[in-house]
Amino acid sequence: MPLASQHEYQKYPLFGTNIAGLNTLRNHLLLVALLSAVVVSYPARAQDAGPADLSAQELLTEGENAFNAADWDTASQAFLRFIADFGGLPETEQVVNRVKPLLAISHVRLGRLEEALPLLEESLKLPDLDPALRTDLIFFAGLSALQTGQPAVARAHLGAAFNDKTMERGRRMEALILGGMTYVMEQDWKEAITFFEKYGPEIAAYSPEAGARAKILRLHALMQETRWADAVTLAQEIHGALDQTRQVVSFSSMLITLGDHFLEAGEAHQSITVLRMVPAKSAILKLQNTRLADAELDLNSAERAGNSVKVSQLRTAISEMKGELEAFEQVPQFDSAARLRLAGAYLHLQRTREASLILDQMVRQMEPDAVVESATASLLRGWLSLDRHARAARTADLYMERTRDLPEKPNLPEVMFLKGQALEGQFMHKEAADAYLDAAAAFPGHEIAPRAEFMAAYNILQLEQYQQAGSMLDRQRKNLNKKDEMWPHVVFWRAMAWQFDQKWEPARAMFDEYLTAAADDSVSGEYIDNARFRIAFSYFSEARYSEAIRLLKEFEKNFPTSEWLPEALLALGDALGAEGDLEGAGRAYSRIGVEAPGFHDEGWMKRGNILKVTKDLAGMKRHFTEFLEKRPDSPRIAEALQWLGWTAKQEGDLAEARRIYWNAIEKFGNDRVRPGLEEIFLALHSFYPPAERTDLEARLGELLARAKDERRTRFATRIGWAIAQLHLSAKGDQASTPEQRAEKYRAELVALVPQIDPEETAPAILADVADASAENGDQEDAALLYDGLRKWWPQAPERDRAFAGLGFLALKAGDKDAAQEWFDRYERTSVMPKAAPDENGIALVLSELGAEVAMARADLLSERKPDEALLILLAIQKNKSMPTRSRAEALMKTAELHASRGQHRESLPYFEQIYILYNRFPEMVAAAYYGRGRALEELAMPEKAREVYSELANRPDLASFKPAKLGTARALALGGILKPINPTDSLIPPNPDP
Amino acid sequence: MKSFNTFLIISVGLVLPGFAQEAPEVIPTAGQMQAYLTQRPEQDMIHWKDPARGESLTVRILEVNDTGVRVQKTAQAGLINRVVPHDTVSGVSFTHTPIERQLIQKPSAEAVGALRVLWDARKATLDMDTSNVAQLGIALAKSLRMKNETAAYDEAAETLQQIGERSPADHHKLAADMESRTLEMARALAAGSPDQTDRIAWEITEVDADPEAMLMATAWLGDRHFEDLKQLEEEHPRWDMDDEVRPIRLRLYHLSLDFALYPSLFHGTHEAEASTGLRKAWQIHQHTQSPQLAMQVLEDLAALYPDSQAAKDTANELARMRASEARGAPLEEVAEEGEPDEETEGTRDKEEQLPIAPPKPERYNLFDD
C-alpha cells in the first residue's frame, strides 16, 4: 500500500513549548523563598505630613506611645516632626539621638527601607545604645540594605548581627541565610556556593526548614555556576527531606530547569533522574495545604496563648504560604512542564512506550489547551508506532472529546486520519473507511483529504466490495489531475477493483491510463510492473492466450527482478501450454526461481504434467526423482511420489512403484511434522491390490517393529496410523463387517496413545486417535489429545475436531457450561464455511461436524430452553448446504423433541417428512414411522396409527430394524396389519393374527 | 570569600539534644521507645483553655490518658512531674524528634513496637485540633500492614478507623482513607484471594490517588499479567498462529510491561519499587526474547537506579550484552515480539483458561488496554 507507512512514528513536537508564567513564577518564588522568614509586616498606608502644632514634649509622647502600640505610621510622623521642628539644637541633641533609632525602626516596620537605612547606620554609631536595641538595628540595617539593593552593605550589617551572640539565635540564623543571599544578589555564585556549603549544616542544625531554604539557594547558585552534577546531588538531598521544605514550588521549578538542561545536553538519563523528582501539582498543593493547615492550627494556639511574637511570625509565614499557593495555582501548565520534558527524555532514549504512558496520563489530567492538543496527537502517533491500535483509536476519540471547545486544533486533520489507521490496524475496515471519509469530509481542502478518501476506498476493497470501492475511486478520480500525489494510487487501485471484479476491459483501460502517465514520468512509477503484469494476466484470465503470452514474455524481459515474475512465469507456462507449446511452457515453468517456493514447486509439478502428456515416462521419473532430491522439504513430495509410482505402474513395474514409495517412507517417515507426509503412507494402499493386502500389512508391521526398536517414534506413529487406516478400508477384507473393521481401527489407534507427543504428531493423526479414544470411552486420553491438537496446531483444519471433540467430552461428563464454551469456540474459529445468520440469528458451520455440534447444542438446550433448541434444529433442516444426513437427523430430533414435550400433533409432519424425503437412511425412516405411529396413538387416533405401523410393517427394506418390529407389534395390537394400498410387489403382509 | 568571612568565624554549637542531629537509621524497639519518652527534648506544647494563664507551656509530654496530660519539665529545682487535667487544656502539640520523624516517614514492620508506644501515649489527643498524632497513627497502620499478619491488619484497621472518625483534620482523614484501601488489598493478598485482590487492585488503579496504593496495586497486577502471559503462552505455544489467542496474548504482554514500568515512570523516586519494576520489565523482554528491549531496560536501570539491588543483580547481564553489542554480535537472534519457540518441550495437563479482561473502568484508567 502506498500509504502503509504513514503512521511511522514522528518525534513529539514537545520542545520549544513555552510554559506560560513558569519563569516569572520561578523568579518571584525564589525571592519569596529568600525572605520568607523575615518577620516584618508593611502596612499600605501612605506617608502623611506629621502632626502639626504640637509641643516637643507632646510630639515625643505621641511618638513613643504610638511606637509602643506598634502604630508605626503615627510614631514615624511624630518623630519626623520632632526632628524637623526641634532637631539641630544643642539642647535637643540627646533627645534626637534617642528618637532616631525609634524612627529608623518605624521606617523599617513601614517598609520605608531607603529612608530607614541612613537612620539605622547613624543610630548604630550612637554611644550608649541599648544593647537590645542595637541588635535590632544591626539586623534591620542588614535587611534594609539587602532590600534596597546594597548587598555589600547588607553583608557587613548581617555579619555583625550574626556575630552578636546576644542576639536571639533564630535571628542570627536568618542573618546567616541573608548574608549568603547577598552573594546571590551579586550573582557571585562561587562565593554563594562556598558560603552555603560552609554554613548550610549550621543553619540546618538550627532549623531543618531554614536549612532547606539555604540548600535551595545553594542549588540555585550551583545551577548558575553550571555545576550540574553537584546540582543533581544537592537536588536529591533536598528532595529527600521535601516535607521540611517550604519552597516546594521554587524547588520544583528549579528541577524543571535542571532537567531541561540535561535534556538539551542530550543526557536523557540524567534529565529523567532530575525530572522524576518534580512532584505533581496536586502533590505540591496537598503538601503545602497540609503545612498551611498545621501553621493555622499553631496560629490559633498562639493566639489563644497570647504569644504575640509567635503570632506575628506565623501570620507572616501563613501569608507568604498563601501567596505562594495562589501564585502556584495561577500556573496552569506546571504538571505538563515536567511531564512533557520527562516524556521527551524517554523519547530521546527511543523509549516510545514509556513516553506514551507518561503522555497518556498527562493529557487526561490537564485542562485542554494547545499543549494538550499537540501532546494528544503525539500520543496517538506513539501508540500507533507500537501497534497498539485499540489504544490509538481511543486516543483519537479522546482528542476529539478534549479539544472540542478549543479554538485552534492544528492536529485535527491528522488525528482523524490516524484514527482510520488505528481502526484499519484492528481489521475494522468498514469503521476505518468511515473514519477516513469523516476526515476527508471535515477537511476537504486539506492535503490529507485525498489520502483519506483513497484509504476509505481501499478499506472497502479489503471487504471485497469491489463495485462500491470502484465507485468511490471513480468519484475521487474526477477531482484529481495527474499532478496530484494521489492520482497514481487512485487510478491503479481503480483498475484493481475492476480486475478483482473480473471486468477485464475497463481494468486494462485503467491500467493503460496509469502506464501512459507513468511513461512520461509525470506520475509515480511504483506500480508499473504490477500494472503490466495485471494486464497480461487479465488476457490469460480471459483465455486470450496469444496476447497473454506476448505480454508475459515482455514482462519477463522488462522486469526481471519484479516480485510478480514467478506468478507471471507460471501464467506464461499455462498460456503456452494452452496454446500447445508444451516445450515453451516447460521452459517458462523451469525459469521460476526457488526463492518463490510455492510457484517454483507448482511449476515443477506442471512440468511433470507436460511430460505425462507427452508420455515421456522416463522423463517423468527423472523429473520427480530430481524433485525429491532437490526439494525434500517441500509439502508436495507426496505428489511427486505419487507421480513416480504412477510412472512405474504405467511401465508395468509395480515393484518399482512400491520400491519408490517404501524408500520415500524410509527417508521421510521420521521427519518432523509437515504437510503432505501422511499422504505418502496412505498412497501405498493403491499399489497393493486386494489380494496382496496381507503383504502390505506384513511389510508395514515389520517396519513398525523396526521403527519402535530404533525409537523412531514419529515414524512408528505414522506407520501405526497407516495400518489402522488400512484396516478400516474394506479393500481386500471382505470378511469383516464395517463394524468389525471400525472396531479394529479404533483399537489400533488407541494403542498409539502412549507414544504420541502432540507437538511431534501430525494434526490428522492426532484428531483420528483422539476421536478413536473418545469413541472407545478413554475420555482422559481423548481430552489430552484434543488439547494437544488445539495447542500445537492452531492453524490446522483439524483443530475444528479438537474444539468439537472437547465439547462432546464435556457433554458426556455432564459439564454443560464447558461444552457450551467449546462449541462456541468451534463455531467461532471453524475453517469451514459458515452460513449467514438465518431469521433467528443462527449461523451454522456448514459441515457434518458443524451439524453435529449444532445438534449437540440443541440437546444442551432441549431441557431448559426447548424453543431455542427447536430453532437450531430448524436451521439445520432448512439449510441445503448442510449434509443430507444431518438434515434428516435434525428433522428426527425435532419430531422427538415435540413428542417429548407432549406436542404430538406438532411432531407428526416431521416424522412424516423423514420417511418421505430420506429413504436413503432406512434406520431413521423406520424410527420415523414408529414415532409417528406412537404420536397418533397419543392423540387417540388408533386407526391412523395402525395405518402408519402397517406401512412400516409392509416395508421389507426396514424389516431388520428394531422400530419395524416394534411397529409391527403395535399394528397387530391395534387390529392387525393393513394391506398396502398400492402394493409394489407381491409380498403379502404378515399374518395379522399370528 | 569576601568580607563576610571576617565575621563568620564562629561556629555556633547550640544544638539541642535529639533535635538537630541527623535521624538515626536504627529502628528503636518498643522498650527503647518507652525509655525515650522520658528523654525526649522538652519541646511539646500545652495550650491553656484559659487565656489568663498566659503563653503555652513548653514541656515534655510523657503520656495523655484519662486523667490528664502527664508532663515533665526541667526547672531550677530539678525535674518536675505533673499531670495537667484535661479541663484546663485546649490542645497539645507534639514536636516530632528526628527519631519520630524517621518512624513516620519510613514505616516498617520493625517499627511497629516503637510506633505503638508513641500512639498509645498520645492517641487520646486525636480529636484535638492542634494534635499531630494522626500522622503517628497512619505510620503505625502502615507498619502493621507490613507485618502481614491478620491480627496486625485488624489493629491497623482499627487505628485508621479511629483517625477517620475522630481526627478534626481533613487531610488526616483522607490519608487514613487511602491507607485503608491499601490495607484492604494487603488483606486480600494475604488471604490468598487473587480474584478479590484483582478487584481491589483495579479499583485502586482507577482512583489513582495514593502512590503507595498504586505501587502495590500495579506490582500485583503486573505479576498477575506476566504470569497469565506465561501461562497463556504455555497453553498456546503457537499463539502467533492463532487469531483467537493472539490479541489476548498481546494485551497481556502490553499490560505486563505497562504495569512494570509504572513505578519508574510515575513514582520514580520510590527507588525500590521503580527498580524492581524495571527488572520485571527486563524479565518480560527476556521472556518474549526481545534482547534489544531487554538491554534498553537494563541500561535504564543502571543509569537511573545504580545503587539498587535490581541494578546490581543484573549488572553482569548488562555487561554481557554490552560486550556482545560492542563485538557487533547479535544479542540474540529472536524477533522483538517473540517468535514461537519451536523447541518448547512438553505440555501441561492443565485446564485451559483464557484470561478475562477486567471490568470496564468507570473512569479513565491508564491500564485500560
Helices (H), A757-844: 763-775, 779-792, 799-812, 816-829
In this prediction, residue A589 has a pLDDT band, given cuts at 50, 70 and 90, of very high
> pLDDT tens digits for A526-554?
999 999 999 999 999 999 999 999 999 99
Decide if B51 and A305 are in contact by the 8 Å CB cutoff. yes
Distance between CA atoms of residues A192 and A219, nearest Å: 10
pLDDT at A708: 93
* Cβ–Cβ under 8 Å, residues A559 and A532: yes
Decide if B244 and A350 are in contact by the 8 Å CB cutoff. no
In this prediction, residue A344 has a pLDDT band, given cuts at 50, 70 and 90, of very high
Q: What sign results for the dihedral spanned by CA atoms A487, A493, A498, A502? A: positive
Q: Is the pLDDT at B23 greater than 50, yes or no?
A: no
Q: Which of A249, A257, A238 is nearest to A324 (CA)?
A: A249
Decide if A361 and B349 are in contact by the 8 Å CB cutoff. no
> pLDDT tens digits for A613-628?
999 999 999 999 999 9
Beta-bridge partners for B44? B59
HSE, side-chain direction, 13 A CA sphere, residue A784 = 16
Decide if A305 and B238 are in contact by the 8 Å CB cutoff. no
State whether residue A190 sits within 8 Å of chain B by CB: no
In this prediction, residue A685 has a pLDDT band, given cuts at 50, 70 and 90, of confident
Chain A neighbors of B173, CB-CB under 8 A: none
Between A32-41, A691-700, A938-947, A972-981, the lowest mean confidence (pLDDT) is in: A32-41
In this prediction, residue B25 has a pLDDT band, given cuts at 50, 70 and 90, of low
> pLDDT tens digits for B276-286?
999 999 999 99
Q: Which of B10, B235, B369 sits opposite A791 (nearest CB)?
A: B235
From the CB of residue B356, how many other CB atoms can be counted at a distance below 10 Å?
Answer: 9
Beta-bridge partners for B89? B48
User: CA of A393: which chain B residue's CA is closest?
Assistant: B369
Amino acid identity, residue B248?
Answer: I
With a CB-CB cutoff of 8 Å, which residues 590-619 of chain A face chain B? none
Q: Is the pLDDT at B340 greater than 80, yes or no?
A: no
User: CA of B363: which chain A residue's CA is closest?
Assistant: A364
Question: Which ipTM did the prediction report?
Answer: 0.79
Distance between CA atoms of residues A644 and A650, nearest Å: 10
Q: Which positions ≥6 away from B114 have C-beta within 8 Å?
A: B27, B28, B29, B30, B32, B33, B103
Decide if A239 and B242 are in contact by the 8 Å CB cutoff. no
Query: A343 vs chain B: nearest CA distance in angstroms?
Result: 9
Distance between CA atoms of residues A96 and A98, nearest Å: 5
> pLDDT tens digits for A204-242?
887 777 888 899 999 999 999 999 999 999 999 999 888
pLDDT at A89: 81
- A990, three cell numbers: 404378515
Residues A875-896, mean pLDDT to the nearest whole number: 92
Q: Quick one: A595 exposed, middle or buried, by C-beta within 10 A (0-12, 13-18, 19+)?
A: exposed
Residue that wins the pLDDT comparison between B14 and A521: A521
Q: Which of A411, A282, A258 is nearest to A341 (CA)?
A: A258
Decide if A350 and B369 are in contact by the 8 Å CB cutoff. no
- For chain B, helix (H) and strand (E) counts, in that order, are 13, 5
With a CB-CB cutoff of 8 Å, which residues 302-341 of chain A face chain B? 302, 304-307
Chain B neighbors of A196, CB-CB under 8 A: none
DSSP for A806-821? HHHHHHHTT-HHHHHH
> At CA A40, angle to CA A39 and CA A43, rounded to 5?
145
pLDDT at A52: 58
Between A324-328, B71-75, B178-182, B358-362, the lowest mean confidence (pLDDT) is in: B358-362
3-state secondary structure of B47: strand
Q: Does the predicted model carry a pTM greater than 0.95?
A: no
* Cβ–Cβ under 8 Å, residues A149 and A165: no
Q: Which of A455, A442, A432 is nearest to A411 (CA)?
A: A442
The DSSP H or E segment spanning B236 is none
Decide if A354 and B261 are in contact by the 8 Å CB cutoff. yes
Q: Is the pLDDT at B218 greater than 50, yes or no?
A: yes
Taking CB atoms within 8 Å and a gap of at least 24, the contacts of A160-168 are A160/B7, A161/A135, A162/B7, A162/B8, A162/B10, A163/B7, A163/B8, A163/B10, A164/A134, A164/A135, A164/A138, A165/B10, A166/A131, A166/A132, A166/A135, A167/A135, A167/A138, A167/A139, A168/A135
The DSSP H or E segment spanning A16 is none
Helices (H), A225-307: 228-240, 248-264, 268-275, 281-305
- B251, three cell numbers: 494485551
Q: What are phi and psi of B90, to 5 degrees?
A: -95, -25
With a CB-CB cutoff of 8 Å, which residues 829-888 of chain A face chain B? 829
| Parallel, antiparallel or unpaired: strands B78-84 and B69-75 | antiparallel
Decide if A364 and B364 are in contact by the 8 Å CB cutoff. yes
Decide if A162 and B347 are in contact by the 8 Å CB cutoff. no
> At CA A185, angle to CA A180 and CA A187, rounded to 5?
95
- Residue pointed to by grid coordinates 428433522: A891
Mean pLDDT of chain A: 87
Decide if B2 and A759 are in contact by the 8 Å CB cutoff. no
Q: What are phi and psi of A503, to 5 degrees?
A: -100, 85
Q: Which positions ≥6 away from A187 have C-beta within 8 Å?
A: A224
Q: Quick one: B176 exposed, middle or buried, by C-beta within 10 A (0-12, 13-18, 19+)?
A: buried
Distance between CA atoms of residues A552 and A578, nearest Å: 14
With a CB-CB cutoff of 8 Å, which residues 245-284 of chain A face chain B? 269, 272-273, 276-277
> pLDDT tens digits for B96-129?
887 898 899 889 999 999 999 999 999 999 988 7
DSSP for A699-755? HHHHHHHHHHHTT-HHHHHHHHHHHHHHHHS-TT--SS-HHHHHHHHHHHHHHHGGG
* Cβ–Cβ under 8 Å, residues A312 and B197: no
- Packing angle, helices A334-348 and A281-305, rounded to 10: 140
Residue A202 has what DSSP assignment? H
CA-to-CA separations, A597 to A90, A185, A556, A602, in angstroms, rounded: 120, 79, 18, 8
* Cβ–Cβ under 8 Å, residues B138 and B163: yes
Query: A305 vs chain B: nearest CA distance in angstroms?
Result: 4
| Parallel, antiparallel or unpaired: strands B44-48 and B89-93 | antiparallel
Query: A429 vs chain B: nearest CA distance in angstroms?
Result: 17
Q: Which of B90, B171, B347 sits opposite A788 (nearest CB)?
A: B347
Q: What sign results for the dihedral spanned by CA atoms A343, A344, A350, A352? A: positive
Decide if A300 and B130 are in contact by the 8 Å CB cutoff. yes
Decide if A350 and B4 are in contact by the 8 Å CB cutoff. no
Between A105-119, A326-340, B113-127, the lowest mean confidence (pLDDT) is in: A326-340
State whether residue A301 sits within 8 Å of chain B by CB: yes
Decide if A306 and B55 are in contact by the 8 Å CB cutoff. yes
Q: Is the pLDDT at A415 greater than 70, yes or no?
A: yes
Contacts across the A-B interface (CB distance below 8 Å): 156
Decide if A205 and B20 are in contact by the 8 Å CB cutoff. yes
Residues A359-376, mean pLDDT to the nearest whole number: 87
Query: B139 vs chain A: nearest CA distance in angstroms?
Result: 15
Q: Which segments of chain B are extended strands (E)? A: 44-48, 57-64, 69-75, 78-84, 89-93
Q: Quick one: A656 exposed, middle or buried, by C-beta within 10 A (0-12, 13-18, 19+)?
A: middle
From the CB of residue B322, how many other CB atoms can be counted at a distance below 10 Å?
Answer: 15
> pLDDT tens digits for A505-519?
999 999 999 999 999
Chain A neighbors of B15, CB-CB under 8 A: 205
Q: Is the pLDDT at B333 greater than 80, yes or no?
A: no
Amino acid identity, residue A401?
Answer: E
Distance between CA atoms of residues B242 and A550, nearest Å: 43
> pLDDT tens digits for A686-716?
888 888 888 999 999 999 999 999 999 999 9
Q: Is the pLDDT at B22 greater than 60, yes or no?
A: no
Decide if B238 and A791 are in contact by the 8 Å CB cutoff. yes
State whether residue A351 sits within 8 Å of chain B by CB: yes
Query: A739 vs chain B: nearest CA distance in angstroms?
Result: 33
- Residue pointed to by grid coordinates 469413541: A775
Chain A neighbors of B242, CB-CB under 8 A: 794-795
Distance between CA atoms of residues A362 and A383, nearest Å: 15
Decide if B10 and A162 are in contact by the 8 Å CB cutoff. yes
Query: A488 vs chain B: nearest CA distance in angstroms?
Result: 34
> pLDDT tens digits for A237-255?
999 888 778 788 889 989 9
Residues B5-28, mean pLDDT to the nearest whole number: 37
Chain B neighbors of A386, CB-CB under 8 A: 254
Give the number of residues written for chain A: 994
Percent of chain A scored above 70 by pLDDT?
Answer: 92
* Cβ–Cβ under 8 Å, residues B235 and B352: yes
**Terminal-residue alpha carbon distance, chain A:** 83
Q: Which of B8, B169, B369 sits opposite A293 (nearest CB)?
A: B169
Distance between CA atoms of residues A275 and A262, nearest Å: 10
